[in-house]
Structure 1
């Protein structure tokens, strides 16, 4: 999802979605999938802004 993509939140969100596409929510942890997406986007944004 990131190969050839312009760095940015849209590309990072697509990468997070691809990484978690097979994740299956259970009864009490469905929120963790959305949380994981946000963590991935934030981590990639942080790393992408480092010089």
Structure 2
């Protein structure tokens, strides 16, 4: 199985996809989307400080 993955270039494709994913996650657009999807994140942090 390992030989098949190496021969077909599976690892190369996974490496490229992982690099693209990391680049997207660190982009300003991804950060804005993450904040938009979880508006309570800052609220929860502030609530923990006051407790």
Say yes or no: TM over 0.5. no
Greater Rg by CA: 2
Q: Hey, which of these two has a bigger chunk of helix by percent?
A: 2
Into which bin does the TM-score normalised by the smaller protein fall? 0.3 to 0.5
Task: Answer 1 or 2: higher relative contact order, Cα 8 Å, separation at least 6.
Answer: 1
Q: TM-score, normalised on structure 1?
A: 0.42
- TM-score if structure 2 supplies the norm length? 0.42
